[in-house]
């Protein structure tokens, strides 16, 4: 990991400035659930990068007048100062400090906003931590102008992972793999990499409509859920399954086999929730409407031979995945049949994007 510690060569004095990054959320197809050590995943995962659901973060930095041995920052969320978010950022800074020794030399103002409603139940940790990690890397790039583009993105993903595991998959690329897999050359537990093979046309343009089934605060956080995989009776088999599924989906994404894609993606979503149902203590994040929607998607698929399928993250919301070629018909199906099972009939149309952008 010393590869991510900057050396003192080619350092430039940077007094002040500001940088802005827009980082999208992502939806895992093969799920990360279970970790060890400092944010090391128990199995590899792969996700589609989203486009519309994103966090935009600006980092303003100014060299401190005199050195002080603490992190100095203010945090604004949607233009209001947010003290309650500060501990998360403070612990993120602490975690990355050994790789970013310049952090304590600056005072920061961090301003962040989401393109989706905060209370939508959509995980904002991936986009939020991703955007902050990229802003930190942009500052690093100003201080060390010679760092390569490859290093920039790898380290951004590495830092994002230390903030939130899934954030490592929101940095660069349409499909991102995080975690070591024999099927994916150069894959790493330390950072995400863009899926390295040519993707079949069938999967190049995919849509994800997020059905907001329950916008409330989750009863069990992801962090607690990951921890419940320690000593879980089915953990080892699950990690093995995820490894097998990653190898399978890599083939599927290259050969364009939509039927196998559907089977695998839905199996992964239900396996994730099965881990929750069978942990000690057990918990259920799905709601009755989650199940209703799943059943209606199955029925629609049986009747129409559509390529529609669903996946779930750690919550009650349903991600409806479908090829762009079916966009019009599936959008009407969602509006006419599924919206009724969403809180306030709300859903968000999204599609696969390219990853983070500097603003």
**Under 8 Å between Cβ of 190 and 161:** yes
Q: What is the largest CA-CA distance in the chain?
A: 69
Q: How far is the CB of 236 from ligand DP6 (least distance, A)?
A: 18
| Whole-number Å distance between alpha carbons of 174 and 183 | 18
Q: What is d(CA 251, CA 179) in angstroms, rounded to the nearest whole number?
A: 17
The interface with ligand DP6 within residues 253-272 (CB under 6 A) comprises 272
Q: Considering only CA atoms, which of 126, 154, 39, 98 is closest in space to residue 353?
A: 126
What DSSP string describes 104-136? GGEEEEEEEEESS-GGG----HHHHHHHHHHHH
Minimum Å distance from CB 39 to ligand DP6? Answer: 6
102 or 310: CB nearest ligand DP6: 310
Q: Is 20 helix (H, G, I), strand (E, B) or coil?
A: strand
Asked if 319 interacts with ligand DP6 (CB under 6 A), we say no
Question: Of 4-12, 24-32, 94-102, 244-252, which segment contacts ligand DP6 by CB under 6 A?
Answer: 24-32
When binding is defined by CB under 6 A, the residue of 28, 100, 262, 320 that contacts ligand DP6 is 28
State the minimum distance, in angstroms, from the CB of residue 164 to ligand DP6: 3
Angle of helix 235-255 relative to helix 258-277, nearest 10 degrees, comes to 160
- Which of 33, 92, 144, 300 touches ligand DP6 by CB under 6 A? 33
- Would you say 276 and 282 are in contact if contact means Cβ atoms under 8 Å apart? yes
Spatial CA neighbour of 167 closest among 21, 321, 317, 346: 21
Q: Which of 19, 24, 25, 31 binds ligand DP6 (CB under 6 A)?
A: 31
Q: Is 310 in the site for ligand DP6 (CB under 6 A)?
A: no
- Of the two residues 199 and 220, which places its CB atom closer to ligand DP6 in the complex? 220
Site string for ligand DP6, 219-248 (x = CB under 6 A): ---xx--x----------------------
Beta strands in the chain (DSSP E): 16-30, 35-36, 40-41, 45-63, 72-77, 80-81, 106-114, 175-178, 192-194, 206-211, 309-312, 318-323, 347-351, 357-358
- Rule CB under 6 A: say whether 45 interacts with ligand DP6: yes
* 45-63 and 106-114 strand pairing: antiparallel
Contact pick of 112, 114, 166, 289 for ligand DP6 (by CB under 6 A)? 166
Q: Given the structure tokens 């999204």, which residue do they identify?
A: 350
Output the six-digit token pair for 124. 């904002």
Residue 275 C-alpha from the chain's centroid: 20
Nearer residue to ligand DP6 within complex by CB, 28 or 135 = 28
Q: Give 49 or 138: the residue with its C-beta nearer to ligand DP6.
A: 49
**DSSP SS3 for 60:** strand
Residue 189 in contact with ligand DP6, rule: CB under 6 A: no
| Both structure tokens of 142 | 């100003």
Nearer to ligand DP6, 175 or 330 (CB): 175
Residues binding ligand DP6: number (CB under 6 A): 17
What residues pair up with 323 in beta bridges, in sequence order?
206
Closer residue to ligand DP6 in complex, CB, 308/312 = 312
CB of 165 or CB of 194, closer to ligand DP6:
165
State yes or no: residue 165 binds ligand DP6 (CB under 6 A): yes
Residue by residue, DSSP assigns 167-204 as GGGSSB-SEEEES--TTSTT--SSSEEE--SPPPGGGT
Residue selected from 89, 123, 262, 338 as contacting ligand DP6 according to rule CB under 6 A:
123
Asked if 314 touches ligand DP6 (CB under 6 A), the answer is yes
* Alpha carbon distance 358, 225 (integer Å): 33
Best CA proximity match to 79, nearest among 128, 125, 54, 112:
112
Which range of residues in 66-74, 90-98, 159-167, 230-238 is near ligand DP6 by CB under 6 A? 159-167
According to the binding rule CB under 6 A, does residue 207 interact with ligand DP6? no
CB of 317 to ligand DP6, least distance (A): 11
Interface with ligand DP6 (CB under 6 A), residue from 14, 19, 22, 32: 32
Chain contacts with ligand DP6 (rule: CB under 6 A): 28, 31-33, 39, 45, 123, 125, 164-166, 222-223, 226, 272, 313-314
């Amino acid at each position: 990991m010393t590869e991510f510690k900057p050396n003192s060569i080619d350092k430039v004095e940077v007094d002040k400035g500001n940088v802005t990054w827009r980082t999208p959320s992502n939806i895992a197809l093969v799920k990360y659930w279970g970790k060890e050590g400092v944010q090391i995943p128990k199995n590899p995962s792969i996700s589609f990068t989203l486009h519309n659901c994103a966090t935009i973060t600006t980092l303003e930095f100014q060299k401190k007048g005199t050195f002080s041995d603490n992190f100095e920052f203010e945090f604004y969320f949607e233009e209001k100062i947010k003290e309650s978010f500060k501990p998360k950022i403070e612990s993120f800074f602490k975690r990355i400090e050994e790789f970013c020794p310049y952090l304590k030399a600056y005072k920061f103002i961090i301003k962040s906003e989401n393109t989706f409603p905060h209370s939508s139940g959509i995980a904002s940790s991936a986009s939020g931590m991703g955007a902050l990690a990229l802003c930190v890397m942009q500052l690093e790039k100003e201080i060390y102008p010679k760092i390569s583009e490859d290093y920039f993105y790898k380290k951004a993903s590495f830092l994002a992972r230390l903030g939130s595991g899934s954030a490592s998959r929101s940095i660069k690329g349409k499909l991102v793999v995080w975690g070591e897999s024999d099927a994916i050359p150069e894959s790493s537990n330390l950072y995400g990499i863009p899926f390295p093979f040519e993707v079949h046309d069938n999967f190049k343009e995919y849509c994800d409509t997020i059905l907001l089934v329950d916008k409330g605060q989750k009863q069990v956080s992801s962090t607690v859920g990951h921890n419940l995989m320690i000593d879980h009776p089915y953990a080892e088999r699950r990690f093995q399954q995820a490894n097998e599924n990653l190898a399978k989906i890599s083939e599927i994404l290259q050969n364009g086999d939509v039927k196998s894609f559907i089977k695998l993606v839905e199996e992964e979503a239900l396996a994730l929730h099965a881990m929750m149902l069978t942990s000690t203590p057990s918990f259920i994040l799905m709601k009755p409407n989650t199940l209703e929607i799943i059943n209606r998607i199955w029925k629609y698929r049986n009747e129409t031979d559509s390529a529609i399928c669903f996946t779930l993250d750690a919550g009650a919301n349903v991600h409806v995945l479908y090829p762009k070629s079916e966009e019009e018909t599936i959008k009407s199906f969602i509006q006419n049949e599924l919206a009724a099972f969403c809180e306030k009939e709300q859903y968000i149309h999204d599609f696969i994007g390219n990853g983070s952008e500097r603003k």
